[in-house]
Amino acid sequence: MSSHHFFSFISSPAFPPLITDHKLKMPMWAIGAIVVVVLALVACLGFCIWKKCINKGKKPKKARERKGGRGRRKKEGEGEEGKEGEGKEGEEEEKENFGKLEFTLDYNFTDNQLIVGILQAENLPAMDMGGTSDPYVKVYMLPDKKKKFETKVQRKNLCPVFNETFIFKIPYQELGGQTLVLQVFDFDRFGKHDVIGQISIPMNSVDLAQPLHEWRDLVGGEKEEVEKLGDICISLRYVPTAGKLTINIMEAKHLKAMDCGGLSDPFVKVVLQHQGKRLKKKKTTVKQNTLNPYFNESFSFEIPFGQIQKVQVLITVYDYDKLGSNDAIGKVWIGFGASGVGLRHWSDMLANPRRPVAQWHALCPEEEVDEALKKPIR
């Protein structure tokens, strides 16, 4: 197409003018939308400037207000001193949440007995999701921790009443170097028990010439370290046709030392239960002065095949004491309702009839196993 024809074409009425019409015509709604967008951008920009520049000096004040809600601290200045002040006042505030415990102390000079009464607690903090706690008190002496006592668990109670008494048989001349610990725990059915607070009473600071009756504030207590009580190797064998269960107590290792000389005199008690009812019990011989005893003693029980599924085997390792009661070192639960290794060992025995199945078990605290046995089995 020649240039003459091209200019004639674009100048024709059929083609709208592009170059000659410099005014852009737009509908009113489009103009309004553009105005709104521009105003929104200007407003956002202004807000950002106000946030970063004008309000910059107010942030420390807000931070101080937030921190002041926790204890109104940091008035003395910033830095390390302020942090130390926060820590101290924070500890004081937490201390108010531990609650307090009422207890009694008395000493029987005739029988060499320290009598500890745990009466009640008040204003305990809520440790559970429902806003309550399941408290109980553990009572023991440091540094040996040989004797430990526990109150009953008071369910869903922040002001529990215990009214329980415990007796430590300790000569008066040995009391001065020991410390009585009253430790309040929140019982947890599915996990480890949480420490709510504790009271430590050095016995050399107490006048035992007359009974002591006090309320004391609980202080923060660290979680008690899990003691290693030792392990025990057990062999199980069941013959369905004869209805005969054979339990062989083979050996134990790394048992907790219960005697002053750093050793123990262990023996094992085997108790057979069916649906919570005790059927029979057996004992091994006592092994003197050892933490790694070898027993290899077998006990046989007649259990019909129809009952074997609901049988519980409770195995407790004791430290023999000639003068007093035997102290439990640890306990194992095998069979119906057990969990972990105790259940797996029982299942392996049932899956391999007429064959002995050996397994090592870690000893657990006796009170922990006894508490688990009280729970309904699902």
Token output for 288: 């003197």
Q: Model confidence at 345, in pLDDT bands (50, 70, 90)?
A: very high
Average pLDDT over residues 76-82: 45
Other Cβ atoms within 10 Å of 84 Cβ, number: 12
Cβ-proximal residues to 302 (8 Å cutoff; 6+ apart), any chain: 243, 244, 245
Other Cβ atoms within 10 Å of 366 Cβ, number: 19
Q: Which range (49-53, 159-163, 244-248) has the least confidence?
A: 49-53
State the Cα angle at 75 between 69 and 78, rounded to 5°: 105
Q: Which range (37-46, 79-88, 163-172) has the least confidence?
A: 79-88
pLDDT at 352 over 90: yes
Per-residue pLDDT tens over the stretch 269-321: 999 998 778 889 999 999 999 999 999 999 999 999 989 989 999 999 999 98
pLDDT at 3 over 90: no
Q: Which range (9-23, 125-139, 244-258) has the least confidence?
A: 9-23
* Positive/negative CA dihedral, 168, 172, 173, 178: positive
Query: Which runs of E-coded beta strand occur in the chain?
Result: 100-108, 113-122, 135-142, 148-150, 161-169, 179-186, 194-202, 212-217, 231-239, 244-253, 266-274, 277-283, 294-302, 311-319, 327-335, 357-362
Per-residue pLDDT tens over the stretch 189-213: 655 678 899 999 999 888 888 999 9
Name the average pLDDT for the chain. Answer: 80
DSSP code at position 23? P
Task: Report pLDDT for 65.
Answer: 38
3-state secondary structure of 215: strand
Determine the residue type at 188: D
Interatomic CA distance for residues 150 and 166, integer angstroms: 9
Task: Report pLDDT for 124.
Answer: 92
Task: Report pLDDT for 72.
Answer: 38
The proportion of the chain whose per-residue pLDDT surpasses 70, expressed as a percent, equals: 77
